[in-house]
Amino acid sequence: MTMRPQDFTSADAPLPEKDLRAIRAALVVPEDREAFDAGLKAVLDEVRVSLDLAGLDSFVHRWWISACDSLEDPGGRRQMHVRVQQAQTGEPIARGRVWREILAARGVDA
């Protein structure tokens, strides 16, 4: 199954433009912006060596989806980073809903 941003964004929230500046501006969580900046530097270094823009195109698409998610559910993005930090430090993590339940609530077939 392929998820598209329109599958999880509300009609009220406009999608960001699919360009680097707009994507970065839509990332409301500092951890996302830091990861975006580090990833952009790495992909641009790769493009300089390979002279192939395919990696940059993939980077833009992946981060555009994250930017759409960030606009739709900034609290969820923050919670995701809290859980990642808990997992990295070995803290116990409270179990949430399984993906099938989340997708079913959104009306998406799993």
Q: Where are the domains of the chain?
A: 17-105
Least confident of 68-72, 85-89, 93-97: 93-97
| φ/ψ of residue 28, rounded to 5 | -90, -15
Report the C-alpha gap between 34 and 47 in whole angstroms: 20
Q: What is the pLDDT of residue 13?
A: 66
Q: Report the pLDDT value the prediction gives residue 101, as an integer from 0 to 100.
A: 86
Which token pair is 65?
Answer: 């989806």
The pair of structure tokens assigned to 62 is 């992946």
Give the pair of three-digit tokens for residue 89: 């430090």
- Quick one: how far is CA 48 from the chain centroid? 25
Residue 76 has pLDDT above 70, yes or no: yes
Q: Give pLDDT tens digits for 15-35.
A: 999 999 999 999 999 999 999
Write down the pLDDT at residue 80: 87
